[in-house]
Amino acid sequence: MYKVQDFDYHLPAELIAQQPQKPRDYSRLLLLNKKTGAMEHKCFHDLVDYLKPGDLLVLNNSKVFPARLIGHKAETGGLIEVFLHKKLASRQAIDSTTSDQAPSGNLWECLLGGRIREGLNIDFSCGLRAEVIKNNNDGTWRVGFNFRDEKFWATVNKIGLVPLPPYIKRGQKNTSDKNNYQTVYADDAKVGSVAAPTAGLHFTKSLLKKIKARGVKIVYVTLHVGLGTFAPVKTEKIKEHKMHSERAEISASTIRDILAAKKAGGRVIAVGTTSCRTLEALNFRELKIDGRKKSAVKKQAFWTDIFIYPGHKFQAVDALITNFHLPKSTLLMLVSALAGKKAVDKAYREAVRRQYRFFSYGDAMFIY
């Protein structure tokens, strides 16, 4: 049984990317053949040469919102940081008591920085206010806001900051990340991620057109990236780690396209670990119906806490486009499950030796 320490590796700090590559598709690309372990080194826009007619490219179209809010305690004026993690359904507000200034109709699960207590009131700019309602005793707090719906989102988009990972160092006034830390295909109707599905950051609209012209079909799933994707593994044995749940959606047409590609012998290529987890969380074996019953396929919307690590039997994903991940992370474990741990270890050592750029704004791998 693998232990967390088995997924550690040495990474010089200077290889952690602080800025995105421009143009996006000029980042480097390490190609790894999961059957032979052979590696090639290319530029990301060369990806099109390694795709085949009949392949299916699956991208996560969730849109990142500026989830970091900087406010002040109403009583003392002390600075406080609020990280919007997950919007709570109205049914989750039944046991909550809030003031008129923080109606229960807009409740969020949040991370809070600073000294916090239940009943604390927080003031933000533009008239936004919040009340700390409940300690969830899992590192998060239940918080109610006075604005809701369109007014809430308009205010958050105006005053919020992009919740960059802590290894990217930024001043609070930096605004370029609002565009840089967003895929070019993020859907305005799919707002909900607190972090970008970073493998998708390498794509440009021009590259996507070239991929389509090659005979590759592009489809989308939605997984709203939450803290669970990046939470550290705190158990010694990886099987004992529990992922946070994240909301996922797959349309009926996308499911039919995946089934058709599989039947025709095409590869299902997930762009990013979030797309991979979404596909693997759905039981495609139960959906393998004949062509006369395609109308029976329905849209799937579900919460998933799937944890993929070596030993996982992939049922949907044949290949993966992904970034280089943090040591001892669940994302590195997922990649090792697909390509094999020895091959991934060797590829990461080679990437360090060749000074690839790592993590969210870093370079990419194509495991095929």
Q: Is 317 exposed, middle or buried (0-12, 13-18, 19+ CB in 10 A)?
A: buried
pLDDT given for residue 273 in this prediction:
97
Q: Cα dihedral sign for 40, 46, 49, 50? A: positive
pLDDT given for residue 361 in this prediction:
97
Pairing of strands 56-60, 217-223: parallel
Encode 64-93: b = buried (16+ Cβ within 10 Å), e = exposed: bbbbbbbbebeeeeeebebbbbbebeeeeb
Q: Nearest Cα to 220, choosing from 173, 193, 252?
A: 252
**pTM of the entire predicted model:** 0.89
Pairing of strands 56-60, 268-271: parallel
CA angle 259, 264, 269 (to 5 degrees): 65
Q: Nearest Cα to 201, choosing from 353, 84, 27?
A: 27
Q: In 10 A of CB 62, how many CB atoms?
A: 31
Q: What is the mean pLDDT of each run of 10 residues along the chain (368 residues)?
A: 94 97 98 98 98 98 94 94 85 45 72 91 97 90 94 94 86 75 96 94 98 98 82 86 90 95 96 97 67 70 94 97 97 98 98 98 98
pLDDT given for residue 229 in this prediction:
63
Domains of the chain and any CATH numbers: 4-64+179-367 (3.40.1780.10), 68-159 (2.40.10.240)
Specify whether the CB–CB gap between 243 and 228 falls below 8 A. Answer: yes
Specify whether the CB–CB gap between 174 and 56 falls below 8 A. Answer: no
pLDDT given for residue 44 in this prediction:
98
Q: Nearest Cα to 235, choosing from 309, 167, 303?
A: 309
Q: Nearest Cα to 246, choosing from 228, 221, 270, 220?
A: 228
pLDDT given for residue 114 in this prediction:
81
Which residue bears the tokens 């991934």?
Answer: 344
Q: CA–CA separation, 90 vs 229, rounded Å?
A: 25
| DSSP run (H or E) holding 178 | helix 177-180
Q: Where are the beta strands (DSSP E) in the chain?
A: 28-32, 39-43, 56-60, 63-64, 68-73, 79-87, 107-113, 121-123, 129-135, 141-145, 191-193, 217-223, 246-250, 268-271, 300-304, 319-323, 364-367
pLDDT given for residue 85 in this prediction:
87
Q: Nearest Cα to 131, choosing from 98, 179, 84?
A: 98
Q: CA–CA separation, 346 vs 354, rounded Å?
A: 12
Specify whether the CB–CB gap between 284 and 342 falls below 8 A. Answer: no
Residue type, 363: D
